[in-house]
Structure 1
Amino acid sequence: MSVQFACNGDIEIAYETFGSAPGRPLLLLHGAGAPMLGWPEAFCAALVERGFHVARCDNRDAGRSSRATRPYTVADMATDGSSVLDALHWPAAHIVGMSLGGMIGQVMSARHPDRVLSLTSMCSAPDASMWRTKISVLLRFLALNCRKPSGPDAAGERMVKLHQLVGSTGYPQDEDWIRRIGREAHAHRTDFAAARRQAAAARASGNRRAELSTITAPTLVLSGDADPLQPPRAGKATADAIPGARFVSYPGMGHDLPPALWPAIIDDIDDIATTRTGR
């Protein structure tokens, strides 16, 4: 497994793959500022065991992907996702997106329906106005992100604190893994300017409900009832906007991917993928 790059104009999107053909193609899209490392290798391996050929990628302005030189939109980021499918020679794929990645997956499904076999939107919303956070959480979140970590170890500790703030309350967190990912991601971290560009892209996408009503791919919307950033009402609004979408809310889940829930989440992803493929 090695990092490869797909091109969308002057933007390079870093990606990695797990498994191989003839596995069902599945693309993982993560949230604002999060690198593809945020999709744990063990989670990807579990999807491979279910028969998927998995790709995870860094969004533009995150991880090893290009830093943008001008403003962009979620629609541009959706085209980035299609460029990864092109690089892999996948005519279409099952799309799983978390947070901002869920928004990207929603737009891919609406604007590039021939490229999306099924959609799983996690911890996301149908418009940026639903990103309402308690002021105390927001202030602590900003305080953790406003300063550049002094080095990899400091980045690891900051990542642990972020997960303690927005992560699941009903399940144990793997702090050793979180700390390691923070350290590994430090060299390619998203700086404040890049984070602002991603946030601006989310805001500029506006209310997508009318667009979401055109989605025809089988859709699963997952939420955590302990998510302080995207509460279940945001997920329910997403599901209500997409014809036939299934909505699932997990008790105790926050704005993360707790290992204890992987079997249930992978079951749900597999079920919605099977709806389209029949296998």
Structure 2
Amino acid sequence: MYHPATEQYIDADPGVRLWTERRGAPDAPPLLLVMGAAVAGVGWPEEMVDALAEHHHVIRYDHRDTGRSTTAYDEQPYRVVDLAQDAVAVLDALEIPRAHMAGLSLGGMLTQLVLADHPDRVLSATLMGTCALSTRPYVAPDGTSTPAAELPPIFPEVLEMWARPVEDEGLEAELDRRVEHWRVLGGDQLPFDEGYFRDLERRVVVHAGTYKASTAHGRADDSGMLRTAPLARNEVPVLVTVAPAEPVFPPPHPQHLAQVVGGARLVEIPGMGHALPPAVQGPLVAAILEHTSAAAARRAG
């Protein structure tokens, strides 16, 4: 049965409204998608959302200072941990007691914060393209121990791109910049489809009503995010994706994450980098659905 997407604004904090969208059967198991820094909820590809919505009541939303949600960082500064509380506020406002969660990049960190601080709200979690909020070291298969702070850094070409000032030279120039950003983030193992990402970013611009990029998330206070002990005690089923072309949190970051989060397991998505091109969507959707199904079976058993 076809279920049209439902849009709704929710109040996350005084003066903070968040845009949300729900798709799929209302009585299907809820799945909350949590995007990365400075990316609106419509950054989740339509094809991927539709595929997940065949089995789940999928919720995606715009973080503060993205898309159609409140843009007010300069007047009302917040911490990164407040963005995790926003995810809980979305569930509260939509009257969803517990949900499966899937987070990409910063969204994966926010999902870890919810896992650690509100485990009773999470049915399962899928963590993609992110790093562990833990000080525990990584232990390689040969027994070598590496401190968490000494794991591989972000690739230099990514840092160089992030360091460039963003000039307002019009819509098409901004789309050029964003497409090049996705080219770098996508890694070097899959052909890059420039047209696909240009269309994606054009939809993001139409959704937001502006092409101006926000820097709020990069300026937000990121202190107080470590959750070493509660993540180690975690009992919620967690899936960690391994992206072999990942330039932001390259291996062994996923392996480290799976070690320090209780009950976590790994799945490799061939060719994946720090982006969601069509080539990775099918394997990624399959992995998420297998994980949520297994988590449901475990709860039922």
Match for residue 133 of structure 1?
Answer: 154
1: distance between equivalents of 2:133 and 2:77? 18
Q: Give the aligned length.
A: 273
2: distance between equivalents of 1:237 and 1:72? 29
Pairwise CA distance, 1:28 = 0.5
User: Kindly tell me: are residues 190 and 4 of structure 1, through their superposed partners in 2, closer, same or farther at Cα, counting changes over 3 Å?
Assistant: farther
One-letter amino acid of the structure 2 residue matched with residue 62 of structure 1: T
Pairwise CA distance, 1:72 = 2.9
Pairwise CA distance, 1:52 = 0.6
1: distance between equivalents of 2:84 and 2:211? 21
Pairwise CA distance, 1:155 = 2.1
Match for residue 293 of structure 2?
Answer: 274
> C-alpha deviations, 1:43-85, integer Å up to 9, x for none?
1001112x11111111122222223334433332121011111
- What SS is found at the alignment partner of 1:43? helix
**Is it true that 1:53 corresponds to 2:57 in the alignment?**
yes
Match for residue 35 of structure 2?
Answer: 30
Equivalent of 2:95 in 75, 79, 89 = 89
Does structure 2 conserve the Cα–Cα contact (< 8 Å) formed by 1:13 and 1:65? yes
Larger Rg: 2
Q: List runs of 5+ in structure 2 lacking aligned partners.
A: 135-148
- What SS is found at the alignment partner of 1:89? coil
Pairwise CA distance, 1:104 = 0.5
Q: Give matches, 1:32-181, under 5 Å.
A: 32-49=37-54, 51-67=55-71, 68=73, 69-127=75-133, 132-143=153-164, 146-181=165-200
Does structure 1 conserve the Cα–Cα contact (< 8 Å) formed by 2:19 and 2:68? yes
Match for residue 146 of structure 2?
Answer: none
Pairwise CA distance, 1:8 = 1.5
1: distance between equivalents of 2:266 and 2:10? 32
Does structure 2 conserve the Cα–Cα contact (< 8 Å) formed by 1:215 and 1:242? yes
User: Kindly tell me: are residues 206 and 78 of structure 1, through their superposed partners in 2, closer, same or farther at Cα, counting changes over 3 Å?
Assistant: closer
Does structure 2 conserve the Cα–Cα contact (< 8 Å) formed by 1:156 and 1:180? no
- What SS is found at the alignment partner of 1:42? helix
Match for residue 8 of structure 2?
Answer: 4
TM-score with structure 1 setting the length:
0.89
Does structure 2 conserve the Cα–Cα contact (< 8 Å) formed by 1:30 and 1:101? yes
Pairwise CA distance, 1:152 = 2.4
Q: List runs of 5+ in structure 1 lacking aligned partners.
A: none
- Displaced runs of 4+ in structure 1, greater than 6 A? none
TM-score with structure 2 setting the length:
0.83
One-letter amino acid of the structure 2 residue matched with residue 134 of structure 1: F
- What SS is found at the alignment partner of 1:133? coil
2: distance between equivalents of 1:138 and 1:112? 33
Pairwise CA distance, 1:117 = 0.4
